[in-house]
Structure 1
């Protein structure tokens, strides 16, 4: 049975072990007094999970391209969540890191020039941790700070970087600049990338606690990575009520953000796209990240990622009345709901310039189609 050391902000917090029944057990170190996760309160010393790796740790690992690269480089089965963390878990998103026990000998890894040796980042899109060098951004090595994440296009979706940059810029105007992830666009090696600043790291590189809602709800990843869709937006609201240090404010921010996601055509706002972040005031709703206009891609499912008001809703049926009802369901007053929608109307008008198509673009070009989608969404949901 394998085991691992679990560190929280680089201090030994506990041990993660495989069990004889095929599950895993996390046990806090004697005398440890701080929760490392919402699902692991220190009111108990040990936590068992019946099958495989506990979802909190599962969701620290990557999906898609980076997972394939890491599994190949470390000679680990792609479905071996613990094996991948033992190799790459020394620097994960958030404050938790995973190390093999002292004296453990891991198989020799292949040369890892692009896959961040010893580090990992969650999510399905092709991405890497990067640092700013003298000549631009380069992949982060095994040690030292890694304050940025580079996100790349894929062969099937060559406009991903352009899409997310435009979506973050528009959302930043609509919600406020502090409500979205800081970003810029730049090359990494020979590829153009969206460079986002990690908000789970402090100004001196210190690790901050960050948990996405799939981790908080302990949703198993699933063979098809479908666990992050197995919930409702009401579950995210419940998490905020239970764990945010400012639940009333963060519920309003969440409602504001969810409507803005519908306006921008983002159907992929799943559990991993909402997180709680450590602040001096306690855990708070993190800035928005992974914002995309998914409607622009032919064949992409236009059903909202999570259910709402007990139903799976197609984006075309998501209107103002749906969101008003949702707002009341999660405890917002009509005054707050009306004020939020009125503020969105004002800010959407200011954000028009962000998605104004270039003069040389034709009716079928990217920004023109993007702007048409957003305009139609705003008309249906806000009456604007």
Structure 2
């Protein structure tokens, strides 16, 4: 049975509590008293000068709902898990490793040490081939007698899985362990999508636009795109999470509002936000402008607000590689 409360963690520090509203679908959030006194706001839309966001305000619901998969990826995952189609139930099932530094866990569970690799499960070539060949997708999330099921969540509609990639081997993080890379799969009948993203990331890097390290591997005859996570970093042999939020989260908007055409942020709105949250803002504004110019030149019409994120460096205690600074020390990123 799904609990009506979930605990939000940053490493082993308790950030706050997420709960299900009386309607059974909307979510509320409250900062932990100690975190509010000495921590940092997890979002521009959830400042520390307020402690509680009731479900009916939708502010917290929008922020946490933006961590989840969308469209066909969400529908397939719900079928595999056999859970209700609501954001709280999904976070309860897969919120252990999300974008950014937070883990969302049931009350009885606490985060595991990030330097444990003994629980990582090698991802078999057979299972990878099935996924790449559009068979048995999301079976990775089924119950297993050998290991706890992974609790992995990535926003977006494209099929992808978070993995740990070491020595040319894919591992599936178990329980609450963080992942280091994202593996993206081709769309059925459109293998070129993988190579198109590889080409554009390579092209962007050549014109000095910060991009994650990207490469192609194969599962049988099917290509896979392997992308290094910009919100993870190896520190002294330990894989650490780096906090981030996309611009829909920063503005308190729902994932359904990511496109300007459907009531989402305009480019001007994004610039206004960065001026407010980035200190100093000039480098981040320039980075966003150059990224958008690049999108126009290469014909990318999918530059919506969820495809731009700010990495909150001040949230962390280690230096972040790659990307120029964007917030209160944050950075703009294209996931």
After superposition, residues 146-295 of structure 1 pair within 5 angstroms as 146-176=179-209, 179-188=210-219, 191-204=222-235, 205-222=239-256, 226-229=257-260, 230-279=264-313, 282-289=328-335
Q: CA RMSD in A?
A: 2.6
Structure 1 stretches lacking a partner, 5+ long:
104-108, 290-384
1:300-355 Cα offsets, whole Å, 9 max, x none, are: xxxxxxxxxxxxxxxxxxxxxxxxxxxxxxxxxxxxxxxxxxxxxxxxxxxxxxxx
Give the corresponding residue for 1:74.
Answer: 81
* Deviation of 1:143 (Å): 5.0
* Deviation of 1:43 (Å): 0.7
The separation in 2 between residues aligned to 1:145 and 1:94, in whole angstroms, is: 10
Alignment size in residue pairs: 277
1:110-164 Cα offsets, whole Å, 9 max, x none, are: 3479xx7211111111101122255533444435441000111111532110100
Identify which of 104, 119, 134 aligns with 2:152: 119
Structure 2 stretches lacking a partner, 5+ long:
110-140, 314-318, 320-324
The separation in 1 between residues aligned to 2:259 and 2:11, in whole angstroms, is: 26
The separation in 1 between residues aligned to 2:96 and 2:54, in whole angstroms, is: 22
The separation in 1 between residues aligned to 2:53 and 2:97, in whole angstroms, is: 23
TM-score normalised by L of structure 2: 0.75
Give the corresponding residue for 1:346.
Answer: none
* Deviation of 1:188 (Å): 4.8
TM-score normalised by L of structure 1: 0.66
* Deviation of 1:51 (Å): 6.8
The separation in 2 between residues aligned to 1:172 and 1:160, in whole angstroms, is: 18
Give the corresponding residue for 2:52.
Answer: 46
3-state DSSP of counterpart to 2:8: strand
Larger Rg: 1
Give the corresponding residue for 2:32.
Answer: 29
The separation in 1 between residues aligned to 2:159 and 2:292, in whole angstroms, is: 25
* Deviation of 1:245 (Å): 2.6
